[in-house]
Structure 1
Amino acid sequence: MTCSYASRARFHRSMTRPFFSKDRISHFDIFEKHAEDALNQVKGRLKEGYPVDFQDMVCRFTLDSATEFLFGKCVGSLSAGLVYPKDSLPGQNREYANHPSNLFARALSEAQSRSMLRSSMGTNWRLAEFWSDRIQKDMEVCHRFIDPILKDALERKRSTKEGEQSTGHAYAEGKGFLEDTLLGHLVNCTEGKADEIVNMLIAGRDSTASTLTFLVYMLSQYSRVLKRLRAEVLSTVGNSRRPTYDDVREMKYMRAVINETLRLYTPVPFNVRTSTEAALWPGVNGGPPIYIPPNTQVPYSVFLMHRRKDLWGPDADIFDPDRFIDERLKYLTSNPFIFLPFNAGPRICLGQQFAYNEASFFLVRLLQTFSSITLAEDIQTRSPECDKGAGRDAQEKVIVKHHLTLYVDEGLWVRMGEASNSDDV
């Protein structure tokens, strides 16, 4: 990274890191509330006879959880209801798209897509947007939601300080907000606008939603994995008890399933770093060395690295969670940097454990509620590469795309069988 960017990044991380303590991220109250809402809506939609776009639903769950965790105020995207298949009669309702929560979510996604396009063009993107800023309209929609919350946070900080100065005691409500939300923590650390909150919101919504989407896609394709994972869930927490932090840590197979999903479908498939000084890299396949000048952008693909057979073994393109448990773990233990879903080193994701906890909690509640998951192939947009040739692409029944994060084109449509208390695993 360049020095100015690196110092700014260190400043933001130094402010944010204390908020992601074990004590803060091990309380699951926020997850429980929004997971219950999401899964109740799923049950209702399935009873109507329609499949569910799991990707859309879980994006709403993670957005509502993230905004409440970060801002202390939920955007309420689940209140808009779940989407219907486009060719169904309810799917023709145009008012749905204009629901306030949908406007915010759509603008955030569009801004990410356009940002990714800018990155692919390098510094030349300014020429392509010479006459107009293509992200501005989407960011205006986002800021109409974010700015009032930020203004309220700054006002609470001011009122709390004034209360301390006049009475010697902080007002309880203001002090609680400043201590209990990331936004409150950030405005308590700096007078400037908390730009970091936008990045945290994107990470909090999209990365976990992407992981859960592709994990459920894999469960729909590997019934033995689903059965084994559900057995672990029921043996650990039963069919109704809310999981605790210790429960989540105990479920080793669940962590392996999450990790294998992160390996094959890493949420952030591409990244870029900027060299701080000149370097000489080894050549490819014994070729001449590669000179990297200083201040040079170097893109790399975690997505491709996670599928390399020279790093992960001959079955690298196969989904098999046991590779994180059995003797194949030797590939990772001898070279930990082959697995980078959360980055590594000084730039490792601060919300890594929060993401694991959120994904694990939702999976527990999902598998307590449903005992079977199948892809709705009559609705699902099918990959044109499916069943053609060999390798991972030939196995894909969905179209995998990405902007900043990986996603399923046109959504992940599934049908799920509701569990009963007497279900055998």
Structure 2
Amino acid sequence: MSSSVVPPGVAFVANGLKATLLPSITTYGILYVLSSTSNAQLPRTFLATAAICSIPLVSYIKRSWKLHQQQREREALGAVSIPRWKGKWPGNFDLLLKINEDFRTDYIGRPVRLYFDELGNTWAMDILGDGPVFTIEPEHIKQVLATQFDNFEKGREFRFAAGDVLGSGVFNSDGEMWKFHRSMTRPFFSRDRISHFNLFERHGDELIKLMVQRFRSGLPVDAQDAYSRFTLDSATEFLFGSCVHSLQSGLSYPINASPYTDRASDPAEDFARAFAEAQESIAQRTRYGPLWPLWEMFGNKSTASMEIVNKYLDPILTSALENRKQFLANVNTSGSEKSAEIDEDETLLDHLVKFTDDKVVLKDEILNIMIAGRDTTASTLTFATYLLAMYPEPAARLRSEILSKVGSTRCPTYDDIREMKYLRAFVNETLRLFPAVPFDTRRSKKGTTLAPAQPGGKPFYVPPENEVTYSVLLMHRRTDLWGPDAMEFDPDRFLDERLHKYLTPNPFIFVPFNAGPRICLGQQFAYNEASFMLVRLLQTFDRFELDVSAQPPESVPPASWKNVPGRQSIERCWPKSHLTMYAQVSSLL
């Protein structure tokens, strides 16, 4: 996971110049040789002009040939082009700038949702000759994730953008490397491993104690900060047996606390903050597409963050590799075969070092799984608690189910959580409106088709090496898929007749953890951890209220949102996303 000394923008421009100047240099050379060997000596100004003119000419020829090949393939497949969102500037560069600015200042998903309303559930736009596809159509998402899985991969563009953060881990690899990572990691997320709740109990009780102390002092709790600490402690202990103990540093204080406590730097907080900043750099890069290096002309924006992350992880990885040496020595001494079976007290890192001693591979995989098992849970708990405060009746009903099932003090078991139907419905409804991964992308390997927009119509054509971005956030909120109340929070939709009317016949309308062979490895871990924490929370507290007055002003939704239909008009926090969803600055309870 090394970062290049040369800034990405400089390398991008240098490579671009090589590709751009090659036609002109070749043209100049050919004309110069012909001129030198003929009686008619061509003026050097003519040679230079011809060389310069060859650049757009060659570009036009290449683009025309590419479009011609795509047209032939599209006709052979009996398909039609996907509707296009057209900008006003050459190359539609204005669209790229608009989307990125709107993602920064507007409600999550709204910058592109408006074009789904205009162009349909699947559309594309050309950015300097590239034509990424955007979709919220469940059948198309099903094809990308499942039925055409072998033809859609993360792709080289995403691997390049995320490489200095995620390396070659399971989130950022394809083909045999992805299979290798998946096969290494999958056994560790079996039921036997994720149903042991002692880990959640220790860190959950520590968090509850801190929350009680904070409320008794008359101050609110930053829910997102609290859950980020809980999930970070749980994940680091679960993954590599070395808890960062971020809860021991105490909860953060609101800005209106008197006196406001300016906390000293803490290694656990530094690690968590740096990891979040590194993920944000990936999100920004993906929004800018293949041109992202131009925004990092003077330096790699993830370097400083990853130095902090690596500084924390390196001693842990070194220790694990030393344990590997001992493990192999014991195997050689006993003469037994190296076993991939997981011992009772074994961590994921202990398990991984049985397969490889490559420190980079180990680091990449640990960070990838931390996103799967930690960030998704922190996001879900943050928005679940936000919804507890926004909707007191469902909150009271959930608490009633918890108290009737496990009482006010007993820790829930795996079977307890399975039997609490309303709890699962509450979590699912949270994930429907605020999915942990609201946007994701794949890239086609070869030309293919997506299902027709209308029954009996022609399928849509997707060229080879074409990006397809899908949004489960926007799909989860479609009224034609979920009913006229799709924007409302109502856990009963996962229990009553609406379940059988909408979800049962079309399961791909709800994919908060993706689907197909790449379905999130940490899905059940996240469900169990979030459910456990909600049980302990509602065993302790009987009501929740948002304290918007304690939020920084820039985190409060702007007044202009009040006039926009849908959830945007009622939100009291500002949902954002990098690789996972979060509140811009936490809502406080």
Q: Percent identity?
A: 52
Q: 1:94, CA displacement in angstroms?
A: 4.5
Paired letter, 2:539: Q
TM superposition score normalised by structure 1: 0.91
Paired letter, 2:303: Q
2:348 match: 182
Task: Determine the C-alpha separation between the residues in 2 that align with 1:281 and 1:176.
Answer: 42
SS at match of 1:75: coil
SS at match of 1:52: coil
Q: How does 1:301-316 map to 2 (within 5 A)?
A: 301-316=471-486
Task: Determine the C-alpha separation between the residues in 1 that align with 2:281 and 2:293.
Answer: 12
Do residues 382 (structure 1) and 553 (structure 2) align?
Answer: no
Task: Determine the C-alpha separation between the residues in 2 that align with 1:273 and 1:186.
Answer: 27
2:398 match: 229
1:420 match: none
- List per-residue Cα deviations over 1:168-206 (Å, max 9, x = no partner): 689xxxx98896111111111222231111011122221
Structure 2 CA distance for partners of 1:176 and 1:312, relative to 1, 3 Å? closer
1:271 match: 440
| 2:531 equivalent among 360, 365, 381 | 360
- Answer yes or no: is the 8 Å Cα contact 1:157–1:178 preserved in 2: no
2:68 match: none
Q: How does 1:68-107 map to 2 (within 5 A)?
A: 68-95=237-264, 98-107=265-274
SS at match of 1:243: coil
Task: Determine the C-alpha separation between the residues in 2 that align with 1:366 and 1:149.
Answer: 32
Do residues 8 (structure 1) and 177 (structure 2) align?
Answer: yes
400-409 vs 101-110, which moves further: 400-409
2:294 match: 127
Task: Determine the C-alpha separation between the residues in 1 that align with 2:325 and 2:345.
Answer: 14
- Answer yes or no: is the 8 Å Cα contact 2:372–2:521 preserved in 1: no
Which ranges of 4 or more aligned residues in structure 1 deviate by more than 4 Å? Answer: 167-170, 175-179, 282-289
2:315 match: 148
| 1:324 equivalent among 491, 494, 501 | 494
Structure 2 CA distance for partners of 1:178 and 1:139, relative to 1, 3 Å? farther
SS at match of 2:544: strand
SS at match of 1:398: coil
Task: Determine the C-alpha separation between the residues in 2 that align with 1:145 and 1:181.
Answer: 17
- Answer yes or no: is the 8 Å Cα contact 1:72–1:181 preserved in 2: yes
Q: 1:133, CA displacement in angstroms?
A: 1.4
Paired letter, 2:490: D
Task: Determine the C-alpha separation between the residues in 2 that align with 1:154 and 1:90.
Answer: 46
Structure 2 CA distance for partners of 1:163 and 1:259, relative to 1, 3 Å? same
Q: 1:222, CA displacement in angstroms?
A: 1.0
2:357 match: 191
SS at match of 1:180: coil
Q: 1:288, CA displacement in angstroms?
A: 7.4
Do residues 406 (structure 1) and 572 (structure 2) align?
Answer: no
Q: How does 1:164-179 map to 2 (within 5 A)?
A: 164-166=331-333
Structure 2 CA distance for partners of 1:262 and 1:366, relative to 1, 3 Å? same
Q: 1:121, CA displacement in angstroms?
A: 1.8
- Answer yes or no: is the 8 Å Cα contact 2:255–2:550 preserved in 1: no
Task: Determine the C-alpha separation between the residues in 1 that align with 2:175 and 2:335.
Answer: 39
Task: Determine the C-alpha separation between the residues in 2 that align with 1:265 and 1:256.
Answer: 14
1:417 match: none
- Answer yes or no: is the 8 Å Cα contact 1:38–1:61 preserved in 2: yes
- List per-residue Cα deviations over 1:376-409 (Å, max 9, x = no partner): 1322443125543431111111111111111112
Task: Determine the C-alpha separation between the residues in 1 that align with 2:389 and 2:318.
Answer: 44
- Answer yes or no: is the 8 Å Cα contact 1:72–1:177 preserved in 2: no
Paired letter, 2:249: A
| 2:306 equivalent among 130, 139, 147 | 139
- Answer yes or no: is the 8 Å Cα contact 2:376–2:437 preserved in 1: yes
- List per-residue Cα deviations over 1:51-70 (Å, max 9, x = no partner): 11011000100000000000
Paired letter, 1:412: S
| 1:202 equivalent among 367, 371, 374 | 371
Task: Determine the C-alpha separation between the residues in 2 that align with 1:351 and 1:282.
Answer: 30
Task: Determine the C-alpha separation between the residues in 2 that align with 1:164 and 1:323.
Answer: 54
Do residues 337 (structure 1) and 503 (structure 2) align?
Answer: no
Q: 1:87, CA displacement in angstroms?
A: 3.0
Q: 1:364, CA displacement in angstroms?
A: 0.7
Task: Determine the C-alpha separation between the residues in 2 that align with 1:101 and 1:389.
Answer: 40
Paired letter, 1:102: E
- Answer yes or no: is the 8 Å Cα contact 1:243–1:361 preserved in 2: yes
Q: 1:131, CA displacement in angstroms?
A: 3.3
| 1:349 equivalent among 520, 523, 526 | 520
Unaligned runs of 5+ in 2: 1-151, 156-172
Higher-Rg member (1/2): 2
Task: Determine the C-alpha separation between the residues in 2 that align with 1:167 and 1:290.
Answer: 60
- Answer yes or no: is the 8 Å Cα contact 1:386–1:397 preserved in 2: no
- List per-residue Cα deviations over 1:270-306 (Å, max 9, x = no partner): 0001112212335657997542111211111111000
SS at match of 1:214: helix
1:423 match: none
TM superposition score normalised by structure 2: 0.66
194-203 vs 335-344, which moves further: 194-203
